[in-house]
Amino acid sequence: TNLIVPVALSTSHAAYTSVRVEPTYMVLGQAAGAAAALASNGDTGSVDIAKLKKTLAEAGQIMQ
């Protein structure tokens, strides 16, 4: 519980090699940090996904 691991992805070996580039790790880290900050402000430790998306969009992260 209460653990965020942004780089332990559930992907095939082929997809993982494309994800393993540094900019992708930085984006994953940014998202994990924002999620951790939102979780620490809540009562249950859960993250409101809509609020997380809004936070990331305001920070300039591109999401698809």
Are the C-beta atoms of residues 25 and 7 closer than 8 Å to each other?
Answer: yes
Helix (H), strand (E), coil (C) string for the chain? CCCCCCCCCCCCHHHHHHHCCHHHHHHHHHHHHHHHHHHHHCCCCCCCHHHHHHHHHHCCCCCC
Q: Which pLDDT score is estimated for 44?
A: 63
Average confidence (pLDDT) over 2-14:
80
Give φ, ψ of 18 to 5 degrees: -80, -25
pLDDT in tens, 25-51: 888 889 999 998 888 776 666 788 999
Which of 39 and 55 is assigned the larger pLDDT? 55
- Cβ distance 9 to 31 under 8 Å? no
